[in-house]
Structure 1
């Protein structure tokens, strides 16, 4: 809804000017204030778009403008100066936007009419400015405007602490607590060179080509933000003539979206694994059982029934492992501090270890689902005993710098050419295994966000490494 700008007219003849305007003028609402007047209180009582100070020697014109400036630094002020009542230098110091010399007999209504377009235009500019201010102060996004040299001109409060602490810390340790601290700085003043180079290159592309950049997904910068992601969009900042003055950018946190995408990827991978097991690994023993039943009906040989029984047990094992894959594959959303050593001992007790030995060389505490961690260790232990023999020696220890733990044995190990395949569903070198044990291990590791690899241990056997557990997730010596 369009309304006319409201002007506060201050002067000795303000009331008569306002009445004359109401009779013959249009496009402005003029309210009068005759000195001496409390300008600050008058402004606070109404919503004014400009102040006209009709200054003469009968009152303190500069004092009126000073009162306006105490109320608002941005409210437009127009001075009609009679004689030497209001020097131009003083008007400039007080931020007067329009300064006109006006004799006592000048037509004030005609003067207001000439000023009306400028007052209307300035009101729209102030409204746009306040809308931008409200946006930058309240929207929980990182919004920023840069000039052609990639120096920050304006930015939102949400740019600080978008996905971390309520400040931005530069590589040299300096903390920026407000948008004003960042104005005039480039990305090189705020972020590591590897991040700044890409950001400034994007700025140059937008400025030089006038083309926008949309949905550039990046890792967030800052301590403890390694798994935090943001998406950035940049567009040209243009003036009224279409000239590119710089860049307008928006960055938002998309960590939840990325986590959801990764979860969907893992779920799709598990579905593919299930499909492989059902279509191949379950079908083989089922076909054997059906074929043997047909033979048994023909000749009654008990050996056929033994084969059927073995096939059914194998189907049962496969079904159990597939269900385990389904259960353990859900993302661990509420991990708790878990001592690795006692979980490893509990897992060892569940496994048929015969004469095998377990050496625990860690006192680490990690954030994990204790039940799933035990399931992971059980499967790795079974694999070591299955391939290393009944007297295999198994060791659990820390990875060190990589942040994680390992399970190693002194068995024959995994051939280098097979190390990329051992976690695939159905991979097994044993006739009795389902081939899903290590697939379950990988699934549990991925559900925690860990990486899993197999390599050669110090004793020449297999060494399963669970890395990238994270600085906060793996805590040694109880720290």
Structure 2
């Protein structure tokens, strides 16, 4: 074989080529070159070759006169595989190797190897040619099947098939992908998709039927399973409680054809898993699936276990061979698993279980939100009761007696202003509660600044506030955070003293608080400023030792109180929140669980709802409040974000 390169479109007459290769490249328009070459090459074969060809290049080149078109990728086309391919095609085009087999051989190869049930019928419905898959379906050889009709092979539906094919031949209209159901010899339901078209001779006359049938049983089952799950999953969304969702989730798969048994691992508030499955599923389901579900719940990812292996995460279904159990995480709720009870777990069942697990998780999330909302509504009702009854009633009595008070107008004004503030706060809190919103807009708030502001609103003559340097900030509703701190500070001041105050001290304190000009009381109350520079513990101790108090309060302390000490209140930071601690008398262990109950108080003038409001506000933010002993033996309230 001789290969010759020419620089022009014209081919020398002496060349007498068997094949001419026309490139399509940057300096040669392959399509135009094919047109010009094909007009004057005689019997030579014209092959157009292009690298990284545009869409439609092959079609245009063929229509322009190319006998063959070779398109190569832009990368790696020099690989041995492509080199061999190009060489083979050029040798074939040049007539150096045998051409393709004749049509009869090619048709026979097609019928031997195609997995579909391909058939050709004459006008009377007799099989003239069939694929190997078609003959295998009927348990006959291809030769044995030739000449038979559907009346012999499928007598129950033979007439229906014949009428269908007669209509196709008369109208010339094909049927495409018609899905039909039947029952096989083993009594199993199966589905096939059939396409039939009229068969025509060289003159265009209809002389029979050509068609093919393919088994779509697995696809059909998967679609049916998926539709059933989607339909049934609406029950999940409509479920009101966690227990109802568990019942529905384990029951639904029993109504889905070919879906394996489902086992649920549901996490309680303490993180412990309990296992649930449909009644009658059998104890083996638990034994095979428990460790897999535990692993999926802990890792928060899909986990599978083969028959003889430990549970392991996997990325794609293709990795699984014969899984005994496959589990999917349900977020913090636990995990859902499907377990092999004898029928096997195929790829479609795994994919379906993953979809089902996502629906179960959505339903559990929704139920959790509903439960939180219900709990919040209960707290709101309680909060409204606190504000409207426990607070408003004594406030109304105080305001009524105030009108009868004959005293210094300045003192009366201070009392009236304080009562008005309480009244306004009551209105605001009641409105918030009845509107269903304890917490409004939330944003980052400096705990140090909030503590200073809350401290300024209180009568804290008997206490010292210390704010640690690392207290940080927290996402909160500013007003509600201030109210929470006010209640914690008030609780510490009212209940934290190591010795009940005498009336003389109370009088001194009340007088000092009522008189804005009392600098002695202001010096005694070390509350820190509203700036970030709050007192350090060392500075607070120094000020406690040197700060002058009003003479009246000093006299009361010296003559009536003996060893009474100021309460020291500390606000410090936690890794996930903050704490408020005091060095007072503390709270007995057997009463710690009761302090947040509405009405609980040990002070004769206490309302019993201060700490309850603290818990309500914290819970509305999603925080947790814990009561422990402080380092000095007092009370320490820890507020943590969840």
**TM-score (ref. length: structure 2):** 0.41
Paired positions, count: 340
Q: Equivalent residue for 1:385?
A: 493
Root-mean-square deviation over aligned CA pairs? 5.7
Structure 1: tracts of 5 or more residues without a match: 1-55, 70-74, 152-160, 192-219, 240-244, 471-479
Distance in 2 of aligned mates of 1:369 and 1:112 = 79
Residue 417 (structure 1) shift: 4.0
Matched, 1:317 2:422: yes
Question: In the aligned structure 2, how far is the partner of 1:350 from the partner of 1:281?
Answer: 18
Give matches, 1:208-287, under 5 Å.
Answer: 221=330, 225-226=331-332, 229=333, 251-254=360-363, 255-275=365-385, 278-279=388-389, 282-283=392-393
Q: Which of 132, 139, 151 is the aligned partner of 2:224?
A: 132
Residue number among 277, 302, 316 corresponding to 1:168 in the alignment: 302
Is the aligned partner of 1:396 residue 2:562?
Answer: no
SS at match of 2:639: strand
Change (3 A) 1:61 1:322: farther
- Counterpart of 1:344 in structure 2 is 451
- 1-structure distance, mates of 2:479, 2:317: 47
Q: 1:344 to 1:170 in 2, by over 3 A?
A: farther
Q: 1:416-442: per-residue Cα shift (whole Å, max 9, x none)? A: 343333323344444555443322211
Change (3 A) 1:417 1:137: closer
TM-score, normalized by length of structure 1?
0.52
Note the C-alpha offset of 1:316: 7.4
Change (3 A) 1:341 1:325: farther
**Partner of residue 405, structure 1:** 578
Taking the aligned partners of 1:108 and 1:326, their CA distance within structure 2 comes to: 84
Alpha-carbon distance in 2 for matches of 1:170, 1:385: 59
Assess if the C-alpha contact under 8 Å between 1:398 and 1:406 holds in 2. yes
Q: Residues 414 and 461 of structure 1 are in contact (CA less than 8 Å); yes or no, is this contact kept in structure 2?
A: yes
In structure 2, relative to structure 1, the CA distance for the partners of 1:301 and 1:138 (3 Å cut) is closer
The Cα shift of 1:408 comes to: 0.4
Q: In the aligned structure 1, how far is the partner of 2:232 from the partner of 2:442?
A: 28
Q: Distance in 1 between matches of 2:581 and 2:453?
A: 17
Over 3 Å counting, the alpha-carbon distance change for 1:413 and 1:326 in structure 2 is: farther
Determine the C-alpha separation between the residues in 2 that align with 1:287 and 1:334: 34
Query: Cα offset for 1:339?
Result: 4.7
Name the SS for the 2:595 alignment partner.
Answer: coil
Unaligned stretches of 5+ residues in structure 2 = 1-102, 122-128, 162-179, 183-189, 193-215, 234-248, 254-258, 262-280, 287-295, 344-348, 498-524, 526-565
Distance 2:441 2:117 in 1: 57
1:123 is matched with which residue?
Answer: 191
Q: Using CA pairs below 8 Å that are at least 6 residues apart, which structure has the higher relative contact order?
A: 1
Q: Which residue of 2 aligns with 1:22?
A: none
Q: CA separation in 1, counterparts of 2:639 and 2:443?
A: 17
Whether 1:63 and 2:110 are equivalent positions in the alignment is yes
Q: Is the 8 A contact 1:321 1:436 kept in 2?
A: no
Cα deviation, 1:247-299, whole Å, max 9, x if unaligned, reads 98762413133122222222213313433664556456657988x89xx9xxx
**The residue matched to 2:224 in structure 1 has which SS?**
helix
Match of 2:148 in 1: 107
Choose the corresponding residue for 2:483, options 359, 371, 375: 375
